[in-house]
Structure formats: C-alpha cells, structure tokens
Amino acid sequence: MGRDTVQLETTVNTISQEYLLEFTSEYGVLEALHPELPKPEDRIVDFPKGKAQPKLAILRSTAASST
C-alpha cells in the first residue's frame, strides 16, 4: 500500500459528546432531532467489497487544472 493510501473502511475518528453538542449548536442542529454519536463498534457507512479507492493522481491533476 502506498504512502498516500488511506483505507476508509478501517479509518477511525473519535469525537466527544461535548464536541458533538458544540458542533450541533454552531450549525443550528435542533436538539429535537436527538443527535447522537455512534457506538465505537458501529460503522457510519458500510463499504462494499472490492476496490473503491480514488486515485490520488487523478485528484491531484483535477485540483491542479482548476487553479
């Protein structure tokens, strides 16, 4: 696996309940919607089997051509 490759299916990001409340307040998410964090073992998105990796070279060339 190359240096610039990220396995999205195993990437973990941890935020606290306090940060969630700060975020929802800042962006006007109503408490009536009952925002909650997923449990540590829950996946937000299940990725299909197979290759679903964006090619960084394509992303870089697209970004370079738009500047």
Q: What is the pLDDT of residue 66?
A: 62
Closest CA to 39 of 14, 60, 6, 21: 14
Give per-residue pLDDT as tens, 40-52.
777 767 666 766 5
This prediction has a pTM of 0.42
Q: What is the pLDDT of residue 38?
A: 79
Spans in the chain with pLDDT lower than 50: none
